[in-house]
């Protein structure tokens, strides 16, 4: 199921769709999306092997990096890890961290979450947004 979300970074704002995967245990971001959006990344302590749905090893091999993104839904927010890998046609896969934190009601037939869209922001975007708000308040 594809869930609409808004992706905000210091470089861009885009309306996207994320795959809500009932079998995924972590959040993932496509490596090309990560590059395009200019998001900071950090190394994993230990690389993680990645296998696609068909059981074949992912063409990019092991995951070696992750990024931290702020996820908000229904006026709540949380800083979550997204692991960088090749997702093919998908840009982002959301699952257990999102579901356990926000516990949204999912209408699987309509392909939607209760109470509106998900917003995903880079920590840098959040910091710059706050700086602009503070500057405008002083002006």
Which domains, ranges and CATH numbers included, belong to the chain? 2-138 (2.40.70.10)
Instruction: Report the sign of the C-alpha dihedral through residues 100, 10, 41, 130, in that order.
Output: negative
Main-chain dihedrals φ then ψ at residue 96, nearest 5 degrees:
-50, -50
Q: pLDDT at position 123, please?
A: 65
Q: pLDDT at position 128, please?
A: 47
pLDDT digits (tens), the chain, 139 positions: 788 888 887 777 888 888 887 677 789 999 988 888 888 889 999 998 887 777 888 778 889 999 989 898 888 888 899 999 988 877 888 887 788 888 888 887 777 777 777 888 886 545 445 554 556 566 5
Classify residue 91 by burial, with Cβ atoms within 10 Å: 0-12, 13-18, 19+: buried
Distance CA 48, CA 45 (A): 9
> pTM above 0.85?
no
């Amino acid at each position: 199921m594809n869930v609409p979300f808004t992706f905000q970074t210091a470089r861009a704002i885009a309306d996207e769709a994320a795959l809500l995967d009932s079998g995924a245990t972590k959040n993932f971001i496509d490596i090309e999306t990560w590059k395009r959006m200019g998001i900071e990344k950090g190394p994993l302590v230990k690389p993680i092997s990645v296998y696609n749905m068909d059981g074949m090893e992912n063409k990019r091999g092991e995951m070696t990096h992750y990024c931290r993104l702020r996820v908000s839904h229904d006026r709540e927010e949380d800083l979550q890890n997204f692991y960088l890998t090749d997702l093919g046609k998908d840009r982002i896969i959301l699952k257990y961290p999102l579901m356990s934190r926000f516990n949204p009601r999912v209408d699987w037939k309509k392909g939607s979450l209760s109470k509106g869209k998900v917003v995903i922001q880079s920590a840098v975007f959040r910091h710059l947004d706050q700086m602009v708000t503070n500057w405008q308040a002083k002006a």
